[in-house]
Structure 1
Amino acid sequence: MTSPDNHRAGFACFVGRPNVGKSTLMNALVGTKVAITSSKPQTTRRVIRGIVHRPDAQLIIVDTPGLHRPRTLLGERLDSLVLSTLTEVDVIGFCVPANEPIGKGDRFIADKLSAIKKTPVIAVVTKCDLASKEQVAEQLLAVSQVAEFAAIVPVSAQSGDQLDVVADVLIEHLPESPPLYEGGQLTDEPEQVLVGELIREAALEGVRDELPHSIAVVVDEMLPREGRDDLLDIYAHMFVERPSQKAIVIGHKGERLREVGTKARKQIEALLGTRVYLDLRISVAKDWQRDPKQLRRLGFYD
C-alpha cells in the first residue's frame, strides 16, 4: 500500500448491466447515500461522483447508468454517457452479481471493456451476501473465464464484507497525486440534482415494473422560507409519459403521491440537515424518452 508521502488520488468507475448493485456499492464505500438505489433495474440516470477519503488516498467513484442494448433515445444517450465516462477514469470496476449466472448482458459489457486498452479493469463480484460460499467460488471462476482482468474481488455492500479490499485494489491503480477534493466533501453533485434523485427514488417504490423508466423529476426552485432560517421551500415537478401512469403515481384520492412526498421529504431533510417544505406536482410529458426536445428540457442533453 502507499504511504502518506506518496498519496494517490483519481477516478474509478463502476460499470455493469442494470441492477447489479453499482449504486449500493458506491454508497457503501463512500459511507453515505450519494446515489439512489432501487430493486427496479435501470434507475440510475446520471453520472454521480462519490468521494472516499483516506489518509493515503482519495478515491473518486463514478457511478453510471447500467449498460444495456438501448430501446429508446434516452437509452442511447445513457449508454453514450457510460462509454464516454469509461475513457476518462483511471480504473474500471466491472460489477457482476454473485447470485445470478453470467449472461449475454455481462458478455456484451465485457466486450465493450476489452476495447479500452489503457485502463485496467477490476472484476467486482457483488451481492455475495445473497449467495453461498460455493456459489461465490463458482462465480469467481466463471468471471475469470469471461475476460482477462487486473484482479477479481468478491464483495458484499450490504454486510460490508471485503469493502476495504475493493477500495485497496482500486486505489492501487490510481496515480500519485494530492487530494483532488476538499476533505469532508462526499460528492460534487449539485444539491438540486441529489434532491431530484431522492424524489424519483421515492416514486419508484412499489410501482409497476414498466413505470420507473417513465419517471423524471425536475427541481424548479430551492430557497429558504422568507423570514425563516430553519425551513427550506422546494418546488419540484415529476413527469410521466401517459395519463394512466399519472393515475398510478397519484393513487386513490392522491394517497400515493402524498406517500412519495413524505418519504422524499424525510430523505431530503437527512441529506440537507434542515427542515423542508416540499411542493411536488406531476404532469404528463408524452413519450419524453423518445423526444429530443423533451429530453433536453428534462436535463438529458446530447
Structure 2
Amino acid sequence: MSEKPFKSGFVSIVGKPNVGKSTLMNRLVGEPLSIITPKAQTTRHRIMGIINGDGYQIVYSDTPGILEPKYALHEAMMRYVKVSLEDADLVLLLVEPDEKFDADTYGRFNRLSVPLILVINKADTGKGSQIADKMAYWKEQLPNAAAVLAISALTGENLSQLLDTVVAHLPEHPPYFPEDELTDRPERFFAAELLREQIFLHYEQEVPYSTEVAISEFKEDEDILRIRADIYVERDSQKGILIGKGGSALKKVGIEARKRMEEFFQKKVFLETTVKVAKNWRREKERLKRFGYTE
C-alpha cells in the first residue's frame, strides 16, 4: 500500500477589521501569536503561524483588516493583504453573520486562482435560521468558493470541520518549515506587539493608532529577559497622555505588558520603556521603513 503524499501550503486569513481573524489564527495554531483587542485595526503586520499534523503542514497568515487606506501606514498594511493573497495556496475569507456582499471589497475573491473557503465567524451569536440563511447567501455571492462554513473562533465551534476542509484543499508539497518552528517572526517582534496590545487596551481615541513600538534592546540572560522598548507617538500631547500624571498610566501599561511577556516567553522579564515623538510617522515612508512596514 502506497503512503499518502505529504500536503503543505500557505493559508491566508483575510477579511474586514474586527471580524476575528487574529482570534481564529491563535485558536488554529494553539498559541497567542496575534494580539487581540476590541479595537479595529489592531493587526498591522502579516503574521505567520505554523502547525504540523499527520501528513500535513499548514502555514497560516493573519493579515490586517481590509480597509480603504487613509495614509501611508494603511497603504503598507494593504500591501501585506495583497501579497498574502498572491502567495496563498488557499484563502480563508472571514465575514460576520450580519455582513453583506460588497463588490469593492469582495469582488476580487471571485477571481482567485486558488481555492477559497468562506468562513462565517461568530456563528454562536446567530439566532434561528440566520446562519443557515447566510451560508446560502454567501454561496450565491461567491459561487467559486470551494466551501462555505460557519464557525466560532471564540468558542471553538466547528474548528475541526474547518481544519479538515483546509487540509483537504492543501496541495501536495513537502513541509516548508522545520517541525519545531511555530512562526516566521523573531522574539523581538512579539515583545513589541505585546506592549502595543496593552496600549490599545488602556487608551482611547487616536492615541493607540498613533503609537508604534520599537525594541531597542532584547538581551536574554539565563534566568531573565531584559527588554528596552521605545514607544513612538506623533504629537507631544499624545506623549503626555501616554505617560499620564506622574507616569502612572505608562507604569500600569508596563506592568501588564511585562506579565503578558512573561507568559509568552515563559521567563522573568525586566521591561524598560521610553516615550518619544516621531511627528506624523504614519504618513512618512522613511519612518515606516524604519519601523519595518516597508522595505
TM range (shorter): over 0.9
Partner of 2:126: 131
| Superimposed CA distance per residue, residues 201-238 of structure 1 (whole angstroms, 9 cap, x where no aligned partner) | 0110032133332111111111135xxx1011101111
Match of 1:209 among 205, 209, 213: 205
User: 1:287–1:4: structure 2 CA closer, same or farther, 3 Å change rule?
Assistant: farther
Residue identity matched to 1:292: K
TM superposition outliers: structure 1 runs of 4+ over 4 Å: none
User: 1:103–1:42: structure 2 CA closer, same or farther, 3 Å change rule?
Assistant: farther
Check conservation: 1:40, 1:212, Cα contact below 8 A. no
1:71-90 map, 5 Å: 71-90=70-89
Match of 1:165 among 158, 161, 181: 161
Partner of 1:58: 57
| Superimposed CA distance per residue, residues 232-258 of structure 1 (whole angstroms, 9 cap, x where no aligned partner) | 110111111122222222223222211
Partner of 2:151: 155
Partner of 1:29: 28
Q: Identity of counterpart residues, as a percentage?
A: 35
Residue identity matched to 1:203: I
SS at match of 1:6: coil
**1:300 and 2:283 aligned:** no
C-alpha separation in 2, matches of 1:4 and 1:188: 30
SS at match of 2:44: coil
Check conservation: 2:109, 2:142, Cα contact below 8 A. no
Residue identity matched to 1:11: F
How many residues in Structure 1 have an aligned counterpart in Structure 2? 293
C-alpha separation in 2, matches of 1:142 and 1:127: 16
| Superimposed CA distance per residue, residues 61-112 of structure 1 (whole angstroms, 9 cap, x where no aligned partner) | 01111111101011111112211220111000010012x33264xx433112
Check conservation: 2:49, 2:183, Cα contact below 8 A. yes
**1:290 and 2:291 aligned:** no
Partner of 1:38: 37
Check conservation: 2:243, 2:250, Cα contact below 8 A. yes
Q: CA deviation at 1:269?
A: 1.2
| Superimposed CA distance per residue, residues 20-75 of structure 1 (whole angstroms, 9 cap, x where no aligned partner) | 10010000001111111111111111110011221131111011111111010111
Gaps of at least 5 residues in structure 2 are: none
C-alpha separation in 2, matches of 1:277 and 1:46: 26
C-alpha separation in 2, matches of 1:213 and 1:115: 33
Partner of 1:241: 234
C-alpha separation in 2, matches of 1:71 and 1:286: 17
C-alpha separation in 2, matches of 1:141 and 1:5: 34
SS at match of 1:50: strand
SS at match of 2:141: coil
C-alpha separation in 2, matches of 1:121 and 1:282: 43
Partner of 2:259: 266
Check conservation: 1:219, 1:236, Cα contact below 8 A. yes
Partner of 2:96: 97
Check conservation: 1:4, 1:55, Cα contact below 8 A. no
C-alpha separation in 2, matches of 1:152 and 1:184: 31
SS at match of 2:163: helix
| Superimposed CA distance per residue, residues 114-140 of structure 1 (whole angstroms, 9 cap, x where no aligned partner) | 333x11111011111222243222322
| Superimposed CA distance per residue, residues 118-177 of structure 1 (whole angstroms, 9 cap, x where no aligned partner) | 111110111112222432223223322322211101111111111111111112121112
What's the Cα RMSD here?
Answer: 1.7
Q: CA deviation at 1:195?
A: 1.0
C-alpha separation in 2, matches of 1:169 and 1:186: 21
